[in-house]
Amino acid sequence: MRLETKYLGLTLPNPVVIASSPLTSSLKHVVEMENAGAGAVILKSIFEEQILDESQFLERFHDYPETIDYLRNYVGNDYIQGYLSLIKQAKASLAIPVIASINCMNESGWVDYARKIEEVGADALELNIFLLPTRPEQTSAEIEKHYLDTISSVTDVVGIPVSVKLPKKFTNVLNIASETYKRKAKGIVMFNRFIEPDIDVDNLKVFDSDRLSSNAELRSTIRSVAMCAPQVSGIDIAVSTGVHTGEDLVKVLLAGAKAAEICTVVYKHGAAVIEEMKMYLASWMNTHGFDAVDQFVGLLSNKSSEDYNEFYQRAQYMKTFQQ
Ligand SMILES: Cc1cc2nc3c(=O)[nH]c(=O)nc-3n(C[C@H](O)[C@H](O)[C@H](O)COP(=O)(O)O)c2cc1C
């Protein structure tokens, strides 16, 4: 049974990818994930904001501008050097692809980090872009332009494959996918999952909701993947958020994804779930007469049969409740 999949032009031994998270933040962790059977790892994101926060904290204790500049460079270099050395070590130790991930505050950060990451040999780069809309005067068009400009600024300067981890909420994610592809990105991840605030009504407080996903969160992504895969056929899709079982993995592949990026399920059940998911995939392929993953990727996408249009393109309950 051939479980390999092509994602971003890379050959992954199987489509179970470990999502960017503390599970991929050290050499020890990524080696553990490879040993457990992962098809690739997305390293924990490097956040430019974290560098700025740390240096601003230290700046409070120093009054001289030259000391402040020194601190900024020192903290920044230390952080990025640590990340670059993780990439190098991971590349030297792992046979599976090592994909780096960055989240920056401004264009120079995206470009600078992307270049450095390519130099040390990462197989690909995932852009963890997120612009939280906080002002009513900011338009969707402005926000989308920011995403697309960021993608171009990175793909203009690096030759390694670039993927973009998208947030769930776009008015038309199909357009974003297509524009992303035009800007030479090789893949998109549907979708990132952010920390959401919740409200504690007993104690009248706001708090962070659960950091781990529920399996039900996968449902809405299936439509997006199934609509996007045939229409933006050049771009590779990986699914993130809510893939908890081997069955979920098969579903996203059938919808048109090339891989699934998992995090919650490894936190909840340990790295052994990777093998369980692969075993389910292999056994499902056996039952259905497939001997390679690419034989059924996208088989149940929107364009594969007119019959499915009814499901993927219908959102209202008009018929369901007709007597
Ligand atoms: C503790 C934690 C830290 C995370 N850190 C990152 C990160 O640095 N970069 C990123 O792109 N996603 C990050 N994520 C999001 C995961 O990569 C993943 O997209 C999300 O958890 C949804 O997948 P899941 O349903 O399998 O958990 C993090 C998630 C968790 C739970």
| CATH code for the domain in which residue 61 is found | 3.20.20.70
* Share above pLDDT 90 across residues of the chain, in percent, rounded to a whole number: 80
Its domain, for residue 272, covers: 5-312
138 is a domain residue: yes
Ligand 1 centroid to Cα of residue 21, in Å, is 5
> Does ligand 1 lie within 6 Å of residue 262's CB atom?
yes
Overall number of domains in the chain:
1
* pLDDT tens string 60-75: 665 666 666 665 666 6
219 is a domain residue: yes
| pLDDT number for residue 38 | 98
Question: Where residue 53 falls among pLDDT bands split at 50, 70, 90?
Answer: low
Question: Where residue 303 falls among pLDDT bands split at 50, 70, 90?
Answer: confident
317 is a domain residue: no
pLDDT over 80 (residue 54): no
Of all protein residues, the one whose alpha carbon is nearest to atom 8 of ligand 1 is 45
On whether the CB atoms of residues 101 and 42 are closer than 8 A, the answer is yes
- Range list of β-strands (E), the chain: 5-7, 10-12, 16-18, 40-42, 46-47, 98-103, 124-128, 162-166, 187-190, 197-200, 205-208, 236-240, 259-262
| More confident call, 303 vs 232 | 232
Which residue among 193, 210, 217, 265 is best mutated to probe the pocket of ligand 1, counting the most ligand atoms within 8 A of its Cβ?
Answer: 193
Any idea how long the chain is? 323
Ligand 1: atom nearest CA of 126 is 11
Question: Where residue 78 falls among pLDDT bands split at 50, 70, 90?
Answer: confident
What is the rounded average pLDDT for all residues in the chain? Answer: 92
pLDDT over 70 (residue 242): yes
In the chain, how long is the greatest CA-to-CA distance? 77
At 136, is the secondary structure helix, strand, or coil? coil
Q: Which of 191, 190, 187 is nearest to 232 (CA)?
A: 187
Ligand 1 centroid to Cα of residue 127, in Å, is 13
Q: Which range is least confidently modeled, 49-63, 80-94, 258-272?
A: 49-63
